Chain A
Amino acid sequence: MNGELKVSKIKNGTVIDHITAGMAPAVLKILGIERGCSDTVIVAMNVRSKRLGLKDIVKVENRALEAKTVKKIAIVAPQATVNIIRDMEVTEKIQVELPKELVGIIRCPNRNCITNSSERVVPYLIVESHDPLSMRCHYCESIVEGLAAELLL
């Protein structure tokens, strides 16, 4: 193999590259295809990467990502790049970026937080640090640390 990556190209769709190693399943969940879909999905895990050491890659055919989805990916894979593919060519390359405020993207882990009660209120977390990732709930001030895939809405 010589460390060479051999994964089929896709004709049209999205390639999410430089995913934190091991986080591909979380990205599939964000994309809503963890239980499969009708289009081609290619997943590579623990691939060698100059930048990250090891990385995961997810390729999805015939799929464009919404801005909210990109924000969610940034939480589990802050180094990821999103490549838009048209006719086998990369037409756009986006570096995911974690916004300062995450509204309706991730829930607060504190079970006693007002956002986890019957009150109608959208979870709202503020990113306090990118590396290491640390977020604080706007309401209860609880801290969320690390790549919190299980808290994504």
Chain B
Amino acid sequence: MVQGPKLDWRGRDVISIRDLSREQIEDVLYHAQQIRPDPTLLQGRVMASLFFEPSTRTQLSFATAMQRLGGRVIGFSGTEGTSVTKGESLQDTVRTVEKYADVIVMRHPLEGSARLAADTAVIPVLNAGDGANQHPTQTLMDLFTIKKFHNRLDDLKIGLVGDLKYGRTVHSLATALTRFRKITLRLISPPTLRMPPSVLRELAGLVPYTETDELDLRDLDVVYVTRIQRERFPDVEEYEKVKGAYVITLKACEMLKPNAIVLHPLPRVDEIAPEVDALPQAKYFDQVQNGVPVRMALLKLVLLGS
């Protein structure tokens, strides 16, 4: 990876992948590749971890990232026992917490909450998921994983599989891919769960795409799988029929190129058969591991600058 010119990261919020240029994305990925645990780098700094709804991976990997750089973590997971249950507004919570911490990492069930927190706070805010809207550090770790295995983010054939209508990760990834060259997308989903028109319009003229309901994994460099959730279907029978058609089985993987990679934002339920885990193309656990260096890089960048 080539380091670009020094970008001004210090004090910056990271709320939406939409806010980041190609240069900025590459800069984060460069720092994520370079960064190593260093107990002195963020010594004396405090990260406030405000998880208004619980999360396993994101919360733990942010905390791990901060601690590996020598920083401390305060905060809560779930609102029980906090002032929020007494009716405190998000803006007041943020104004209070920023008196104790140097950076806020926030997950909240309402869309737009992260932007509001960032507009309210003086210290940087990192969005760890605002409802169904954005989860930019997930997208950055997806890109980091793709770059790690293919050594490029241009000239790739990428298949997005499963629930493309409601899946926040695939929307953000598609937006991010418009920053890169010679990307082609194969959008594989049941007709009722196609990519929303608003996302397709973002792709127009930048990323050629095809839409199909057939699980065709041939020629792809990356297969990005998402879960099809039962609550998206009015009747169970229809769900069972559709779900089965998009399961990544050993048989389906026979279509894969040897150097293709299979990714999944996790948690997985049954959309990737467990036998697939042993294949060399299965990289979803590497992907989840990459959350830590990406978040270490972001914490370092917004607290110390490039």
Q: Which residues of A contact B (CB under 8 A)?
A: 108, 110, 112-115, 117-121, 137-143
Q: How far is the CA of A112 from the CA of B111 in the complex (A)?
A: 6
Which of A112, A120, A142, A143 contacts B110 (CB under 8 A)?
Answer: A112
Q: With both chains docked as a complex, state the minimum distance between the C-beta of A131 and any C-beta of chain B, in angstroms.
A: 14
Which B90-123 residues have a C-beta within 8 angstroms of A?
90-91, 108-113, 115-116
Which of B18, B113, B198 contacts A114 (CB under 8 A)?
Answer: B113
Which of A112, A117, A119 contacts B132 (CB under 8 A)?
Answer: A112
Asked if A120 contacts B16 (CB within 8 A), the reply is: no
Asked if A119 contacts B131 (CB within 8 A), the reply is: no
Q: With both chains docked as a complex, state the minimum distance between the C-beta of B204 and any C-beta of chain A, in angstroms.
A: 12
Q: With both chains docked as a complex, state the minimum distance between the C-beta of B240 and any C-beta of chain A, in angstroms.
A: 28
Bitwise interface map of B from 50 to 89 toward A, beta carbon under 8 Å scored 1, else 0 = 0000000000000000000000000000000000000001
B226 sits at the interface (CB 8 A): no
Q: How far is the CA of A88 from the CA of B111 in the complex (A)?
A: 51
Question: Helix, strand, loop or mixed for chain A's interface?
Answer: loop
> Chain B residues with Cβ under 8 A from A143's Cβ?
198
Asked if A121 contacts B116 (CB within 8 A), the reply is: yes
Give the 8 A-B residue pairs with the shortest CB-CB distance, closest first.
A139-B112, A140-B111, A140-B112, A114-B112, A143-B198, A114-B110, A114-B113, A139-B115
Q: Which residue of A lies closest to B196 (CB)?
A: A143
* Cross-chain pairs A/B with CB under 8 angstroms, 27 sampled: A112-B110, A112-B131, A113-B110, A113-B111, A114-B110, A114-B112, A114-B116, A117-B110, A119-B89, A119-B90, A119-B116, A120-B89, A120-B91, A137-B112, A138-B115, A139-B111, A139-B115, A139-B116, A140-B131, A140-B133, A141-B18, A141-B111, A141-B112, A141-B133, A141-B134, A142-B111, A143-B198
> Chain A residues with Cβ under 8 A from B133's Cβ?
140-141
